[in-house]
Amino acid sequence: MRADARKNYDHLIAVARDVVTEHGADASMRDIARRADVGLATLFRHFPTREALFEALLRMKVDELIQQAVELETSNPPDEALVSWFREGVAFVRTYNGICALFATAHADPDSALHASSTALRSAGARLLVRAQAEGTARADIDGVDLFALMSAFGWLVGQPGFAPRGDHLFHVITGAILTNGSSNDVKKAAF
């Protein structure tokens, strides 16, 4: 990679971060190139698809999330570890609006530049899930893909302006559906 290429690459990612923060995951690629003072074709050679740009943009955060899952795997109790990671995942997709749609479609498309990240996140969560299932604190009839789907759907929900204020509250409802002990479900706790 030549020096000028490297400089453009880094600068494009920095600018993309700003633009995507403002306009969400379907920000204009043209706008990014423009604000980076770079030819539009230059952007598209560095990042041939929108997914490729987001892969570069999110790689570090994705690796962090996977690392956090590994660390939580040795922390107890397993159900709390699962819920903590779920919460981290939701916080992650909230950083940029609309990225859970990208991850969801990438998960089903092996050719997507985000496919590797998508499946890595799914299986990181799956490991925490099976550990809680082995303990009996997570319901046994869901798998990693189900968990990933629920996380994506909840990420979509909190990304909707009208629903965002309900995020914290509905977080307990969703995690209450995944866990069996009702630890985050006040109603069921009262029934016991």
Partner DNA sequence: ACCTGAACACCGTTCAAGT
Site residues, a second copy (CB under 8 A): 101, 104-105, 107-108, 139-142, 145-146, 149-150, 152-154, 156-157, 160-163, 166, 169-170, 173-174, 176-178, 180, 185-188, 191
Rounded to the nearest whole angstrom, what is the least distance from the CB of residue 19 to DNA in the complex?
10
Q: What is the DSSP letter of 98?
A: T
Distance between start and end Cα atoms, the chain:
63
Among a second copy, DNA, none, the one that 45 touches (CB under a kind-dependent 5 to 8 A) is DNA
CA–CA separation, 19 and 137 (whole Å):
42
CA nearest neighbour of 65 among 27, 101, 103, 12: 103
Contact at 8 Å (CB) between 99 and 156?
no
Q: What is the DSSP letter of 1?
A: -
Dihedral sign (CA 165, 168, 171, 176): negative
Nearer to DNA, 45 or 189 (CB): 45
CA atoms of 96 and 21, how far apart (whole Å): 6
Sites of contact with DNA (CB under 7 A): 1-2, 4-5, 7-8, 27-31, 38-42, 44-46, 49-50
Question: Cβ of residue 21: shortest distance to a second copy, in angstroms?
Answer: 20
Q: Which one, 60 or 191, has the nearer CB to a second copy?
A: 191
Q: Binds 30, which of DNA, a second copy, none (CB < 5 to 8 A, cut-off by type)?
A: DNA
8 binds, among DNA, a second copy, none (CB under 5 to 8 A by kind): DNA
